Amino acid sequence: MSAATIAGASGAPPSTAIPMTKDAGVYVVPVSVDGVVTFDCIVDSGASDVNIPEDAFRKLVRAGAIRQSDILGTEIYTLADGSNERGRIVRIRTLKVGNIVVHDVQASIGGTESSGLLGQSFLERFRSWSLDNVRHALVLSGTPGDAPPRVASGRGPEPAGPGRRDDDGPASVAQVVSGNHPGRGQSRRPPPASDDGSLTAQYGH
């Protein structure tokens, strides 16, 4: 099953349905970074950023896809167990999911055993998104231009909530490659509750 564009109702933005596959009990989608590496990402609304496994990041560095200007520094992330970890932050020039390409995406670098995560730094670039449990698809509504990018040239914005950036400025590529990285390195945020107290997988601006 390939990604499909769905025409919206009159006045509504078109949406794209991207097939998901189940891996170890969670849904994942293939993600291509800078046209260099492709890996599966868990669709994780609780992750503040896209998370890139360390081995994929090293391939990007070797290919020259990650440059010094793409190193944005570090942030402190609160993990699911409540502990804090320092994560290295980089700018991804292009991130492709299905036939959708988003430019200038902020991403954290995970540890050797970390999973790829498709977090809010990608998801919030769309007017809305949802999970279709019938078709097992990630549905993105609108285009990436419907929301502003989170990262800027040289250094990203100060994160909201528990995450924060170091005051010592961006790290070097060598520091990012050789540094100690958290396993998941993500701020965990619960999805919003509906009026009846149940959780919803639908998000929008």
Give the model's pLDDT for residue 158. Answer: 36
- What digits encode the pLDDT tens for the residues 53-68? 999 999 999 999 999 9
Give the model's pLDDT for residue 112. Answer: 72
Which whole-number Å values give the CA distances from 144 to 58, 70, 123, 124, 128, in the listed order? Answer: 27, 20, 9, 9, 10
Give the model's pLDDT for residue 11. Answer: 54
| Ranges of the chain whose pLDDT falls below 70 | 1-13, 79-80, 146-205
Residue 69 is given by DSSP the state G
Sequence spans of domains, the chain? 13-187
Give the model's pLDDT for residue 4. Answer: 58
Task: Say if CB 8 and CB 141 are below 8 A apart.
Answer: yes
> Within a 10 A sphere around the Cβ of 110, how many other Cβ atoms?
26
Which residues have a Cβ under 8 Å from the Cβ of 129 and sit 6 or more positions away?
123, 138, 139, 140, 141, 202, 203, 204
Give the model's pLDDT for residue 189. Answer: 39
Beta bridge partners of 42: 28, 117
CA 167 to chain centroid, in Å, comes to 24
Positive/negative CA dihedral, 174, 179, 185, 187 = negative
Give the model's pLDDT for residue 173. Answer: 55
Task: Say if CB 108 and CB 87 are below 8 A apart.
Answer: yes
Single out the residue of 174, 31, 55, 52 nearest to residue 112, CA to CA: 55
Give the model's pLDDT for residue 154. Answer: 40
What's the fold here for domain 13-187? Cathepsin D, subunit A; domain 1 (2.40.70)
Give the model's pLDDT for residue 5. Answer: 56
